[in-house]
Structure formats: structure tokens, C-alpha cells
Amino acid sequence: MTRAAGIDIARGAWLIVYLDGGRFADAVVVDRLSTADIDADVVAIDVPLDLPTSSIGRQAELEARSRLGPRRNSVFASLPAELYAADYTEEARTAARTRFGMSYSKQAWNLRSAIWDAAAARSQRWHETHPELAFSEIAGAPLDSKKRWSGVRQRLDCLESVGIELPVVTGDLLPDDTLDAAVCAHVAWRIATGTASRLPEDGPGPFIWY
């Protein structure tokens, strides 16, 4: 039976949701992916796996933002590795604007530890995804904010519509941590079964799967 795993950042750690045969199997919280035993045939993770080299942002992110409309701000532009390696300073942001034509936010830069950890752990089984894209694909349209009860309810309904019923997951987790990791696992299952989509649709990538 194919085992799929979805991974999302969860309050400074990582939440991994496992699906067996497309159905919920387990959920675990780990501090670091690079030291965790991730037992899955396919993994989908909500963090950039392949960084740009000559721009801030990638084509996949541009297309994802366009597709998501009101949820477009949930997609951060990934940075070249050199910007993650440098300190976040106004001088660094100014230099980036001169070189790449745009600057970057502290929120985007703060992903660097997660990006480095995922890079140390990844293998050929791993694919990049984005929860908002995945949920909008299931629902047929972007959803309400996941910070509102209506958005949480919509996401639970989406997961249940594809056969994923979430139990109470223990640990210091926010509702959207669990929902996002679960839909990442659904994307991994779709990849495993050959039913996933990706942005951009054509070209060499890198891709965001959903």
C-alpha cells in the first residue's frame, strides 16, 4: 500500500501527516527533518525545495499567486541562496533591489532555517506543494482565510470530501498546522497516483504541485 506524507511548518517544528491508501494513518511532530525517519513513498512539503539563482521569486510562485486571487499573499517569493545566507539588514535589502529589481520581506527571509533543513533531508521522493493551491483545487475556488472559522470549516469539508478524516492530533499545534499538513499529504497521494497538477504546467521547473 502506498504511503504518502505531507509536511508543514508547525510552531517552530514540523508536522508530518501520513496517509495509507489515501486515508489518514498517523501524525507526528519532529524538530528537524534532517534527523527524522520519514517513512513514505512520496513526500509533499510546503517549503521551497529549488531556489532561484538570478531572481527573487520563481515562475511557479507567480502562477500560484495569480491562480489564488484573494489568497495570493499566502505565496512568498523564494530567494536566491545567497540572500538567505546573509543577515536581514536594510543594506542587504537595498543591494537585492539593485541586483534583482525588487526587495524581500522579513517573513520570507525567516523561512531560511526551514529551507535549509528540508534541503538536508530531501530525496527524489520529495515534491514542493502549497496548501492553498491544494485546497482551492479540491474546492474549485480559493477559500476563506484559514484564520476564520468559516475557512477552517471549508478546509475540513475539503479533506472529508477526499476521504481524509482527521482525528484530534495532540501537541502544541494550531488548527491550520494540521489542516495544511493533511492537504500536503493529499497532494503527495495525488502525485503517487498520477492525478496531481503542477505549476508551471510545462517547462523544466521547479514546480509547485497541487
3-class SS string, 111-145? CHHHHHHHHHHCCCCEEEECHHHHHHHHHCCCCCC
Q: Answer yes or no: are the C-beta atoms of 132 and 66 closer than 8 Å.
A: no
Q: Is 207 exposed, middle or buried (0-12, 13-18, 19+ CB in 10 A)?
A: buried
Please count the CA atoms within 13 angstroms of the CA of 113 that sit on its side-chain side.
Answer: 10
Residue 5 neighbours by CB under 8 Å, 6+ apart: 16, 17, 18, 19, 38, 39, 40, 42, 43, 44, 185, 188
| Domains delineated in the chain | 3-51+117-209 (3.30.420)
Q: Classify the C-alpha dihedral 150-130-32-188 as positive or negative.
A: positive
Q: What is the CA radius of gyration of the chain?
A: 17
Q: Answer yes or no: are the C-beta atoms of 17 and 181 closer than 8 Å.
A: yes
As a whole number, mean pLDDT of residues 204-210 equals: 95
Of the candidates 86, 2, 16, the one whose C-alpha atom is nearest the C-alpha of residue 45 is 16
Evaluate if residue 173 carries a pLDDT over 90.
no
Task: State pLDDT tens for residues 84-110.
Answer: 999 999 999 999 999 999 999 999 999
- Please give the helix or strand (H or E) that residue 28 lies within, else none: strand 23-30
Measured at the CA of 128, the angle between CA 97 and CA 102, to 5 degrees, comes to: 10
> Looking at residue 168, what DSSP letter applies?
P
pLDDT at 203: 85
Q: Answer yes or no: are the C-beta atoms of 166 and 195 closer than 8 Å.
A: no
pTM: 0.94
pLDDT at 169: 74
Q: Answer yes or no: are the C-beta atoms of 60 and 205 closer than 8 Å.
A: yes
pLDDT at 204: 87
Task: State pLDDT tens for residues 132-154.
Answer: 999 999 999 999 999 999 999 99
Task: State pLDDT tens for residues 46-81.
Answer: 999 999 999 999 999 999 999 999 999 999 999 999
If DSSP codes are grouped into helix, strand and coil, which group holds residue 188? helix
